[in-house]
Amino acid sequence: MISAARDRRSALRSICGHCVGMGALLALERPSAQPAAAPAEPVLDAITLPRLARPAIDSDEGGLWALMDREEARLRRSPFVVRDAALSDYLRSIVCRLAGDHCPDVRVHVVRTPVFNASMAPNGMMQVWTGLLLRMDNEAQLATVLGHELGHYLERHSVERLRDLKSRAAFAQFLGLFGAVGSLGQLGMLAGAFAFSRDHETRADSLGIRLMQRAGYDGQQAAQVWDNLLLELQVTGGEDVGKRSPMMATHPPLASRRSALLRLAGDRSGDSGEQAYRDAMAAHRLTWLQDEVRRGQFDESLILLDRLARRAPADAGVLFARGETLRLRATGPDASRALDDLSAAAALPGVPPQAHRSLGLLHRQRGDLPAAARAFESYLSASPEAADAALIRHYLKEISP
């Protein structure tokens, strides 16, 4: 029977996958009395696997692969993809540092969505959402996530997940019939059905760290990434962050993750690439900060913006975003905190014109009309062709008719 042969082949493959993963873990957990010079690695190792060949078209993996190819074509045509050669090249260079020989098989797509998420499909299609790029402090942290996803890819975890799905119920059936799910709310629910197992996560973490360190990155940065994300999600309360974030839903938060990652990283030093990262994201940061504010999830945004402001106290864009968020939330002492942030931003070099606008609106709300007028004038002179110029001029006329 064809299906029995298929099951045998797939069982063998998943056992082999486990072997590879175990090998990688064992190599890392061997205590090393020597300093940085690495001991010989075991022979069977996902890093040294030859490039993944396209699976047979009649296999279940082949089916998933082809579906991903179709999704990738749709993604290429989507208005949500960020088409910036410099950004794409930068991300590709990091992926290639990590992926080594597998580099030609990986295609990175940046998707404009203000949510922390990254994924990699078995056909080599990698997606990185701009919400994630906004949240990384440096290149090493980005390499953590990309390396982790490469870990899932190299060990074919997605295919194992698909086999797991056979026992799930009608909901996926209906949606499957009509194509990909679009909304984020639904994505959170469905992503739970596609979650990686604890085992997958552990293996991807360890493989990711090894890829990072082989590429010369500081493995200690890995623990920070997930800590930062969890901090943001926990502000809404409750333990099941999985339902709110597609990333956490597909990558269930492991209680021991932080200590495990630090242990995996060991004492080896490496680059964090903070300046290089900052430079590469500079052209987009203001847009992504505004996308974040526009989510309307003020409590979560403030956790993030506080963290960004601590790291870069003189960043006018971050101060503007935080000030604007406080102005919009308008609860308790928010208004005066907003005033502090926006005034500080307005005094910095590189202040975005929108900061003057926000400051003007805030002053106007608080009844300080002369200050409002001054801020509105600054806005209009910095940005005379602004889309809302007519409304702002109207406000000015109201103040001094």
Partner 1 sequence: MMSRRLMLCLTLLLTGCASVVKVEGEQVVNQRLVVKVADAWNKLVTAGEGQPFEAWTQDGLMLDHLRFWAAIKPGQTLLVAPSVPVGAGRRAPQVPTFRAGMSADELVALFELVYAADGSLVTLGKLEPVRFAGEAAVRFEFAVARKSDGVQLQGVGWVAVHQGMLFASTFVAPRLAFFGRLLPKAEAVVATARIR
Partner 2 sequence: MQHARGSGFWALARCMLLFCLVLALEVHAQASRNLAPGFVARPEASRLVIVPADIELFSMSGGGVLEPRADWTAAAERHFQAALEAHQALRGGSMVRLDEKDLDELSEVNALHGAVAQSVFLHHMMGIMRLPTKNDSLDWSMGEGVQLLREKTGADYALFTWVRDSYASAERKAAMVAMAIFGVGLVGGSQIGYASLVDLKTGRVVWFNDLRRASGDLREAGNAAETVEALLRSFPPAR
Q: Which residues bind partner 1 (CB under 8 A)?
A: 74, 77-80, 112-113, 174-175, 178-189, 236-240, 243-244, 294-299, 328, 330, 361, 364-365, 387-388, 390-391, 394
Question: Which residue type sits at 109?
Answer: H
* Helix, strand, coil shares, percent, the chain, to 5: 65, 5, 30
Q: From partner 2, partner 1, none, which one binds at residue 298 (CB under 5 to 8 Å depending on kind)?
A: partner 1
Q: From partner 2, partner 1, none, which one binds at residue 381 (CB under 5 to 8 Å depending on kind)?
A: none
Q: In terms of DSSP bridges, do strands 107-111 and 118-120 run parallel, antiparallel, or are they unpaired? A: unpaired
Question: In terms of CB distance, is 123 or 301 closer to partner 2?
Answer: 123
CB of 123 to partner 2, least distance (A): 10
Site of tokens 């300080």: 368
Question: In terms of CB distance, is 249 or 355 closer to partner 2?
Answer: 249
What end-to-end distance do the CA atoms of the chain give, in Å? 86
Q: Which residues bind partner 2 (CB under 8 A)?
A: 3, 57-58, 60, 62-67, 70, 73, 76-78, 162, 165-174, 176-179, 189, 192-193
Question: In terms of CB distance, is 181 or 193 closer to partner 2?
Answer: 193
160: CB partners within 8 A, 6+ apart: 14, 17, 197, 200
Question: In terms of CB distance, is 72 or 377 closer to partner 2?
Answer: 72
Q: From partner 2, partner 1, none, which one binds at residue 165 (CB under 5 to 8 Å depending on kind)?
A: partner 2
C-alpha 137/C-alpha 260 separation (Å) is 21
Question: In terms of CB distance, is 53 or 387 closer to partner 1?
Answer: 387
CB 157 within 8 A of CB 119: no
Q: From partner 2, partner 1, none, which one binds at residue 391 (CB under 5 to 8 Å depending on kind)?
A: partner 1
300: CB partners within 8 A, 6+ apart: 232, 233, 235, 236
Q: From partner 1, partner 2, none, which one binds at residue 166 (CB under 5 to 8 Å depending on kind)?
A: partner 2
Question: In terms of CB distance, is 197 or 236 closer to partner 1?
Answer: 236
| Phi-psi sector, 128: left (phi>0), alpha (psi -120 to 50), beta | beta
Sign of CA dihedral 136, 140, 146, 147: negative
Q: From partner 2, partner 1, none, which one binds at residue 182 (CB under 5 to 8 Å depending on kind)?
A: partner 1
CB of 167 to partner 1, least distance (A): 21
